[in-house]
Structure 1
Amino acid sequence: MRIVRHYEHGGPSVLRVEETEKPVSAPGEVLIRTEAVGVNFAECQRRQGIAVGGPADLPGSPGGDVAGVVESVGEGVVNVSPGDRVVAGVGSNAYAEYVVNRSDWLFTIPQGIEAGPATSLPIPGQTAYHVIATAGQLQPGQSVLVHAAAGGVGHLLVQLAKALGAGTVIATASSPEKLEFAKSLGADLAFDYSQDGWDEQILTATGGQGVDLVLETVGGDILSRSVPLIRQFGRMVVYGSAGGEVPSVDVADLFDNKTVLGFSMWGLMYRQPEVMAAGAKVLLDLVGSGRVRPVVHAHVPLAEAVRAHEMMEARSQMGRVVLVP
């Protein structure tokens, strides 16, 4: 079978397609024949060796969200059977024609959902749900600011905010096209954070009060300038650093009853699996009912994984970039 690997840290060009043996499912695992693999920006950072959570091991093969058909199951697996359509967040060796994964870390794909959109369910979808509901503790009617609102997680956050009862949803992105995309998904207001004065525009739009909940994944100056946008008794949840820099936050800036907290989906998965399971049910219901609609920006052949990573690093996508065998 084909798999994408890299033997050094660096730009997208370090990725290469190789032939290898098909993996075998161990006890508690399933073997999945891949239909689509969702590309996550964190894997671009890990490939570069600059990820906050640590660089990719070498030799490496990126992780991702794999949608496909169960080929076989290992001993003790009872929740799925060969022939079932499933999707799983796979930590490594995900860019491949076949992958193995723990049986308790996958979803059955809702009826009517194609493989490409289904790749948004595990890592992006669960991250989005728990950022806004578990860590962010969104309450009905509260205002929400979503940074990078056109990205793989951000475009889900805009929709989830509306579906979970938010009042005003404010989106930021880096181009007019992305701002229109965010509005088409339900954002009430949208501002270009690549332009000077975006933060002042948001303060003006909120009557100088700021928002109840800021959802931040860019880092750097965007994070720093977002702290004053937190409303009194409001919260900011930081769940990534696409810009590669996580600045310090001055505690003195939080004395007006503000909270800034960090979120790790993997930490929640390992430490509180029951919370993950409850969130997965809500997420599947929302996607299955059409209230949240994962968007695929591009389907890219597995053999062109380099192009997929180039697209991600250019920040040109609106929604999900998906690899297909």
Structure 2
Amino acid sequence: MRIIRHYEHGAPSVLRLEETEKPQPGAGQVLIRAEAVGVTFAEVQRRQGIPVGGHAGLPGAPGGDVAGTIEAVGDGVTGFAVGDRVVGDIDRNAYADHVVAGVDALIEIPQDLDAAAATLLPSPARTAYHAIREAGRLRPGQTILIDAASGGVGHLAVQIAKALGAGQVIATAGAQAKLDFVRELGADVTINYSDEDWTDQVLAATDGRGADIVLETVGGDVLLKSLGITAQFGTLVFYGSASGDIPDLPALALSRMKNIAGFSLYAMLHNKLDAVAEGQRHLFELIASGQVRPIVHDRLPLDEAVKAHELMEARAQLGKIVLVP
């Protein structure tokens, strides 16, 4: 079978397509024939040598959100069978024709659900949902600001926030096409964060209060400015650093009765299983009802993984980039 690996850190061109033996499932695992693999920005950063989640080791074998059909099951597996369609967040060896996964990482998906769209469920949709609900604690009628709103997580966060009752959704992005895209998805206010006065525009849209909840995943100067436009008694939810820069936050800013909440999906998966299960049921309902639409920007063959990473680095996508073995 084919797999994508890399043996040095650097540009997308370090990614290599190789032939290897098909893996076999061990105890508690299943073998999945991959139909679609969602590309995540975390793997772009790891390929660059940035230790997201604590690791960026070599040789690298990128992880991702894999949707496909179970071909074989290991000893002790219950609840899943050959022929089931599943999707899961696979930590390594995900860019491949076949992947092995522990059953704890899997979500069963309907036979008629598009595999590429399904790749948005494990990481992007659950991150957006729980960052808003668990970390931000959104209440109906509140204002929420979503940075990088046109990406894999952001475009879902816009829709989920509306579905959960946000009174005003403010979405930021770096190009007019992206702003048009998120407005079509339900954003009430769109702002180009490359404008020097973008924070003033946020304050103008909120009558000077700022946003009750700010979802921030860029880091650097954007993180510092996002704290400034978080309303009193509001919450800044920090869940990523696409810029690779995490500045020190001024403690004095918190004296204005602002909260900072860190968010990690992995912490949810390991500590709040009931909330994760309930959130998954709710997400399926929102998708089935059409309130949330997972958007796939491009479907690329497995051997075009380099192009997929180039698109991610260029911030060119509207929604999710997916590899199709």
Bin the TM-score by the shorter chain: over 0.9
Q: Which amino acid aligns with 1:11?
A: A
State the 1:9 CA deviation: 1.1
Distance 1:42 1:262, change over 3 A: same
Partner of 2:38: 38
SS at match of 1:62: coil
Structure 1 residues 245-297: Cα deviation after superposition (integer angstroms, max 9, x where no partner):
01111111011211012111112212333332222222222122221110000
State the 1:111 CA deviation: 5.0
Q: Which amino acid aligns with 1:312?
A: M
SS at match of 1:311: helix
**What residue ranges of structure 2 are gaps of 5+ in the alignment?**
none
Distance 2:9 2:131 in 1: 29
State the 1:52 CA deviation: 4.0
Distance 2:206 2:42 in 1: 32
**What residue ranges of structure 1 are gaps of 5+ in the alignment?**
none
CA RMSD of aligned residues (A): 1.1
Partner of 1:282: 282
Distance 1:273 1:9 in 2: 35
Structure 1 range deviating more: 22-31 or 175-184: 22-31
Structure 1 residues 89-147: Cα deviation after superposition (integer angstroms, max 9, x where no partner):
10010000000111121111135420111000001111111101111111111110000
Identity score, percent: 57
Asked if the contact 1:111–1:288 (Cα under 8 Å) also holds between the matched residues in 2, the reply is no
Partner of 1:298: 298
Query: TM-score, normalising length from structure 2?
Result: 0.98
Q: Which amino acid aligns with 1:72?
A: A
Structure 1 range deviating more: 73-82 or 174-183: 73-82
SS at match of 2:100: strand
Structure 1 residues 166-189: Cα deviation after superposition (integer angstroms, max 9, x where no partner):
110000000000000000100000
Matches within 5 A, 1:1-325: 1-110=1-110, 112-325=112-325
Query: TM-score, normalising length from structure 1?
Result: 0.98
Distance 1:251 1:34 in 2: 47
Distance 1:69 1:112 in 2: 12
Q: Which amino acid aligns with 1:160?
A: I
Structure 1 residues 277-319: Cα deviation after superposition (integer angstroms, max 9, x where no partner):
2222222221222211100000011001001000000000000
Q: Which amino acid aligns with 1:321?
A: I
Asked if the contact 1:110–1:288 (Cα under 8 Å) also holds between the matched residues in 2, the reply is no
